[in-house]
Amino acid sequence: MTKKINEERIECPHCGHHLRITIDSSGGDQDFYDECPACCKEIHYKLHIDEYHQKIQLAIDSDDEQIF
């Protein structure tokens, strides 16, 4: 799969603010956090590179779910 940088428009899972993020798929699978510029709460990003189907999958959540 050709590695490239994509720009995506997403919505904050906390406040619904729209923002643009840059995705660099050259680093493989990634798991990282960033702060919403509107509400200042953390957004959790999970990036998965599916080489077989040649797709980039991005999951976004508020990361405030509790595991018991």
List the beta bridge partners of residue 55: 50
Query: What pLDDT is recorded for position 64?
Result: 67
List, for residues 24-65, the tens digit of each pLDDT value. 888 889 999 999 999 999 999 999 999 899 888 999 998 766
- Residue 62 falls in which region: left (phi positive, over 0), alpha (psi -120 to 50) or beta: alpha
Query: What pLDDT is recorded for position 27?
Result: 83
Pseudo-torsion of CA 8, 11, 17, 20, nearest 10°?
A: -10
Q: What is the pTM of this model?
A: 0.77
